[in-house]
Amino acid sequence: MSEMPQLGRRRFLQLVGTVPLLSVMQTTEASTTSIYGIRLWPAPDHTRVVLDLDQQVQYKLSTQKNPGKVVLKLKSAQPILTLDAVVSEDPRLRSVKTWFTKNEREFVVEFLLKKGVEARSFLLPPNESYGHRLVLDLHNIEKGEQPAVQPAPSQKRNLVIAIDAGHGGEDPGAVGHKRTKEKDIVLNVARRLEKLIRRERGLQAVMIRKGDYYVSLGGRVRKARKHNADLFISVHADGFRKKSARGASVFVLSNKRASSEMARWMAKQENRADRIGGVDQAREESSFAYALRDMERSANQKVGLELAGVVLKELGKIGDLHGKQVHKGSFAVLKAPDFPSMLVETGFITNPREERKLRTAAHQQKLADAMMKAVRQFAIRYPAEVQPSQQKVTSTQAVSKKVYYRVKRGDTLSAIARSRKMSLSALRKLNPGLQNMLKIGQKLRVQ
Ligand SMILES: [Zn+2]
């Protein structure tokens, strides 16, 4: 993310300036809100609809089951372009219709649905790229919590690498002088890394974001966990007020204060993305209660730091570095204790020279190659755990015998799982209701 108020304002004016009915906007009373744009961001689990407004608006959201409809009623608002759109490509939306209520006090935007959704809405204040917005999220209705994706019992488990392309959809991330958006560059790099991982035996890639849509910071971690990620790599590109700022950097989580002024500032910028998550945020905070699992995390942090060092060294061979050390910062996406993680800032998109480089396929490939080095090292040093079903136990043992392990000082859940040659999720499954913190002397079922 970057601080670019001037650029943002310019873009905002351009948008308004291209709308033909600008004069209407100026002559109407100040309290009328103009709607000057509509954007759709379809994602696998939800569609985000964004209405661009020239100021805040009072509105009501209502849903109707048969036929499936979601209705927004905006108080004293008017569109300055047509919003009635056929949106047949969207997996959830059939069409959008608009009209004024009889007394013209309310403007109605009706969304006809293809299937049942859970609708949420909220207002967003202006940011670097957009003005005031009314956001409507249409989430798939979840049929209970999906079970974690488990490999078939007979298979040897692959190491799962979660690749997290930062930002997306309504959140462009940092924007360069040529209007290069961080969200696009990092998705390209992530896809290249995915390809490299796919080619390797014993490795499996999970793309946290597959297209141009937004995933909340907590949602990114949840997806990685759902796929039993062994390693989490978040890909970003920096932005800064000064054009001269340059160089790539790699971050790991810091429990304490960030290691530098810059690291603090960057963490703030990257974490800020979740303001775009709007209503999701309250949920994220509670889900970060797990961030207290300190013991487990510290073991993974060590691995993360080691791998981050590998990436940094490789990045140093293909471009400038922003500091010679791995940075520590308090990034929300790095807070999962279950797996080692790192955040790679691939360069400054606000530095014209680096922006040019970041746009090229050749450099994007080199960045992916640099991260792949660390992935390979990880695979060699921390080979995939074998599923419990592959352990040499007789069938009667497996059925009848419960085996317990007593927690010792310095133990972590992942270390225990590794020593028992079982996956972390299998260990959790055997111990339902496992508390966040392990206690010395605590009994854990391991078979
Ligand atoms: Zn970023």
Task: Tell me how far the alpha carbon of residue 182 lies from the centroid of ligand 1, in angstroms.
Answer: 7
> What confidence category does residue 310 fall into, taking pLDDT thresholds of 50, 70 and 90?
very high
Residue 161, pLDDT score: 97
C-alpha dist (Å) from residue 437 to 5, 228, 277, 372, 442: 43, 20, 29, 33, 10
Task: Tell me how far the alpha carbon of residue 239 lies from the centroid of ligand 1, in angstroms.
Answer: 8
> What confidence category does residue 386 fall into, taking pLDDT thresholds of 50, 70 and 90?
very low
Task: Tell me how far the alpha carbon of residue 140 lies from the centroid of ligand 1, in angstroms.
Answer: 27
Among 68-77, 146-155, 240-249, the range scoring the smallest mean pLDDT is 146-155
Task: Tell me how far the alpha carbon of residue 301 lies from the centroid of ligand 1, in angstroms.
Answer: 21
Which range has the top average pLDDT, 206-220, 323-337, 405-419, 433-447?
206-220
C-alpha dist (Å) from residue 98 to 105, 108, 138: 14, 5, 18
251 half-sphere exposure, CB direction, 13 A CA radius: 31
Task: Tell me how far the alpha carbon of residue 174 lies from the centroid of ligand 1, in angstroms.
Answer: 6
Task: Tell me how far the alpha carbon of residue 3 lies from the centroid of ligand 1, in angstroms.
Answer: 12
User: By the 8 A CB rule, do 185 and 204 touch?
Assistant: no
Q: Which residue has the higher pLDDT, 418 or 430?
A: 430
Task: Tell me how far the alpha carbon of residue 189 lies from the centroid of ligand 1, in angstroms.
Answer: 13
Task: Tell me how far the alpha carbon of residue 13 lies from the centroid of ligand 1, in angstroms.
Answer: 25
pLDDT digits (tens, 9 = 90+) for 101-151: 988 889 999 999 988 899 998 888 887 778 899 999 998 887 654 555 555
Domain 388-445 annotated CATH 1.20.1290.10: no
- The residue whose two tokens read 């407004």 is 53
pLDDT digits (tens, 9 = 90+) for 4-48: 333 333 333 333 333 333 334 444 455 899 998 888 888 888 898
Q: What is the mean pLDDT of residues 374-399?
A: 59
Task: Tell me how far the alpha carbon of residue 173 lies from the centroid of ligand 1, in angstroms.
Answer: 5
Rounded CA gap, 124 and 390, in Å? 51
Task: Tell me how far the alpha carbon of residue 291 lies from the centroid of ligand 1, in angstroms.
Answer: 21
Task: Tell me how far the alpha carbon of residue 114 lies from the centroid of ligand 1, in angstroms.
Answer: 34
Supply angle C-alpha 260, 264, 266, rounded to 5.
110
Residue 156, pLDDT score: 64
pLDDT value at 384 more than 50: yes
Task: Tell me how far the alpha carbon of residue 188 lies from the centroid of ligand 1, in angstroms.
Answer: 14
Single-letter amino acid code for the residue at 115: K
Q: What are phi and psi of 198, to 5 degrees?
A: -60, -30
Residue 17, pLDDT score: 34
Which range has the top average pLDDT, 235-249, 326-340, 387-401?
235-249
Segments in 200-260 forming alpha helices (H): 217-226
SS (H, E, C) 299-335: HHHHHHHHHHHHHHHHHHHHCCECCCCCEEECCHHHC
Task: Tell me how far the alpha carbon of residue 238 lies from the centroid of ligand 1, in angstroms.
Answer: 6
Task: Tell me how far the alpha carbon of residue 119 lies from the centroid of ligand 1, in angstroms.
Answer: 27
User: By the 8 A CB rule, do 231 and 378 touch?
Assistant: yes
Residues forming CATH 3.40.630.40 domain(s) in the chain:
159-381
Task: Give the number of other Cβ atoms within 10 Å of residue 289's Cβ.
Answer: 9
pLDDT value at 277 more than 80: no
Longest dimension (CA), the chain: 83
Task: Tell me how far the alpha carbon of residue 343 lies from the centroid of ligand 1, in angstroms.
Answer: 9
Task: Tell me how far the alpha carbon of residue 124 lies from the centroid of ligand 1, in angstroms.
Answer: 19
Q: What is the mean pLDDT of residues 256-280?
A: 61
Residues forming CATH 3.10.350.10 domain(s) in the chain:
388-445
Task: Tell me how far the alpha carbon of residue 168 lies from the centroid of ligand 1, in angstroms.
Answer: 10
Residue 2, pLDDT score: 40
Starting from the edge strand earliest in sequence, which strands make up the sheet with 59-64, in order? Answer: 59-64, 69-75, 106-113, 93-100
Task: Tell me how far the alpha carbon of residue 209 lies from the centroid of ligand 1, in angstroms.
Answer: 14
CATH of range 5-140; options 2.40.128.20, 1.10.10.10, 3.10.20.30, 2.60.40.3500: 2.60.40.3500
Hey, what CATH class is 159-381 in? alpha beta
Q: Which of 288, 292, 294, 310 is nearest to 382 (CA)?
A: 310
The answer, as to whether pTM is greater than 0.95, is no
Residue 14, pLDDT score: 33
User: By the 8 A CB rule, do 207 and 235 touch?
Assistant: no
